[in-house]
A and B are shown apart, each in its own frame.
Chain A
Amino acid sequence: MANFMNDTNLPTPSVKSLVFASGLAILLATILLITAVLPAEYGIDPTGLGKKLGLTQLSSAGEDIVDPVITSCKEQLGQWTDSTTIVVPVHSGLEYKFDLLKEAKLEYAWKTDGAKIYFDLHGEPHGDNTGFFKSFKLGSENQFNGSITTEFAGPHGWYFENKTQAPVTIILNTKGTYQVLGLM
């Protein structure tokens, strides 16, 4: 019942065959690494074959997704008055508001880290105690942009509710004449 490998009666291979097998393994591994694995995983493509095979895009794909967001954010900040990051914890809701005058315009663009979030863009008149509010837009998205014009003076902004299993991060860009009330 001796283990196959520990059996001393096994034929021992020749050095030549071992060298051949090992050399072949090293050669194959090097070829596959240089032409496929490194281009696909790291974008390292010394032979240019990775690009031809369409593999380099697998690695730069990650970068492509990230860069436009960063650059467009930086560009957009030029046109925006304010930019803020809001983290909505798991299974909770919060409000982020701005104080605006009547018939004031609020331009906005917000986007999440990918997950969809429930939102309600609405406004309440100053000093109102009846619970009246006007909703401009509501739904469940991972980004939205547009503008609103207020019909009355008062706090206007978003109710965000995170119904997912992970915190959701929202980048909110706004432009207009207002007082930032912030998280409420």
Chain B
Amino acid sequence: MKNNIFNIYTRAQRLIKLLGVLLIFIVALSPTSVFAHGVDANTERFLLGNQGVAIGAFLYIGAKHMVTGYDHLLFLVGVIFFLFRTREVLIYVSLFTLGHSLTLFFGVLNHLAVNPFLIDAIIGLSIVYKGFDNLGGFRRILGFQPNTKIMVMIFGLFHGFGLATKLQKFNLPQMDLWKNLLAFNVGVELGQFIALLFILIGLNFWRRSQSFYVFSTATNTLLMTGGLILFGYQMTGYILNG
């Protein structure tokens, strides 16, 4: 029984790695103009005036938001920093995905107007939370470890609202809105997958060295720093423009 479970996990790992490599090849071999800055700006301009269903454009924009969404990525780095097993990474990332997909859909379909500065400030705080959590801060201060899975899901909900506000900046025709929305969501997951691949490759290389453990405190302190900078930046934006 134990052997069977082991086989399934190793097979799943291999499949995921294969998919990842394939995806990287597809991305790398695509005409470079696809990812050139100019096309990106053109896609955005197109979507600002778009009147119908535009699966490809929303897919691309969704992927781009995740790959360049350093606030989402920093949070994910914090989440997977001490996750050494692929199974755990899959579980936590899935919970994050579930959380942000729920609020992305809910927010856009219900035309929720969440203040973008406030939600991005909260996302900044989620990064601070995770850094502090990784340091064992809550175990010391609160005396117990807040369930990490539940917290990833909850913060995922906030990240999803952030994604919703970004998507709502584009012209979203009401007809077949769910199609564009789904394309965006799939794009987000694709982008997340690609970004995580690179992050995990880097992390795993680093984990081979003792320096990973020696510098884990410094790294999570830097994570908190990054989150605080984002928080300050977004709150200033809220005070000025919100």
In Å, the complex CA distance between A115 and B237 comes to: 29
Chain B: minimal CB distance from A158 (Å) = 22
User: What chain B residues lie within 8 Å of A165 (beta carbons)?
Assistant: 42, 45-46, 49
A14 at interface, CB cutoff 8 A: yes
Chain B: minimal CB distance from A10 (Å) = 7
Interface residues in B215-242 (C-beta closer than 8 Å to A)? 217, 220-222, 224-226, 228-229, 231-233, 236-237, 240
Known pairs A3-B148, A33-B232; A13 contacts B82 (CB<8 A): no
Known pairs A21-B221, A22-B224, A25-B131; A5 contacts B82 (CB<8 A): yes
A166 at interface, CB cutoff 8 A: yes
The residue of chain A having its C-beta at the shortest distance from the C-beta of B92 within the complex is A3
A44 at interface, CB cutoff 8 A: yes
Known pairs A22-B132, A165-B42; A13 contacts B140 (CB<8 A): yes
Chain A: minimal CB distance from B224 (Å) = 4
B28 at interface, CB cutoff 8 A: no
In Å, the complex CA distance between A13 and B216 comes to: 13
Known pairs A18-B137, A25-B221, A25-B225; A37 contacts B49 (CB<8 A): no
B48 at interface, CB cutoff 8 A: yes
Interface residues in A1-37 (C-beta closer than 8 Å to B)? 1, 3-6, 8, 10-15, 17-18, 21-22, 24-26, 28-30, 32-33, 37
Known pairs A25-B131, A42-B237, A165-B46; A18 contacts B229 (CB<8 A): no
The residue of chain A having its C-beta at the shortest distance from the C-beta of B79 within the complex is A5
Q: Count residues of B near A (Cβ-Cβ below 8 Å).
A: 41
B115 at interface, CB cutoff 8 A: no
Q: Are B42 and A12 in contact (CB under 8 A)?
A: no
Interface residues on A, range: 20 to 34
Among B46, B140, B237, which residue has its beta carbon within 8 angstroms of that of A18?
B140
Among A11, A30, A42, which residue has its beta carbon within 8 angstroms of that of B236?
A42
Q: Are A10 and B229 in contact (CB under 8 A)?
A: no
User: What chain B residues lie within 8 Å of A41 (beta carbons)?
Assistant: 233, 236-237
Interface residues in B6-49 (C-beta closer than 8 Å to A)? 42, 45-46, 48-49
User: What chain A residues lie within 8 Å of B149 (beta carbons)?
Assistant: 3
B139 at interface, CB cutoff 8 A: yes
Known pairs A28-B225, A29-B228; A167 contacts B233 (CB<8 A): no
User: What chain B residues lie within 8 Å of A8 (beta carbons)?
Assistant: 145
User: What chain A residues lie within 8 Å of B137 (beta carbons)?
Assistant: 13, 18, 22
Q: Are B233 and A38 in contact (CB under 8 A)?
A: yes
User: What chain A residues lie within 8 Å of B45 (beta carbons)?
Assistant: 164-166
User: A29-B229, A33-B229 provided; 15 other pairs, C-beta below 8 A?
Assistant: A3-B149, A4-B82, A5-B148, A8-B145, A12-B139, A13-B140, A15-B140, A18-B136, A26-B228, A29-B225, A37-B229, A164-B45, A165-B45, A165-B49, A166-B45
A-B contact pairs, 19 of them (CB 8 A): A3-B148, A4-B84, A10-B139, A17-B135, A17-B217, A18-B132, A18-B136, A18-B141, A21-B221, A21-B224, A22-B221, A28-B222, A29-B225, A29-B228, A41-B233, A42-B240, A90-B49, A166-B46, A166-B48
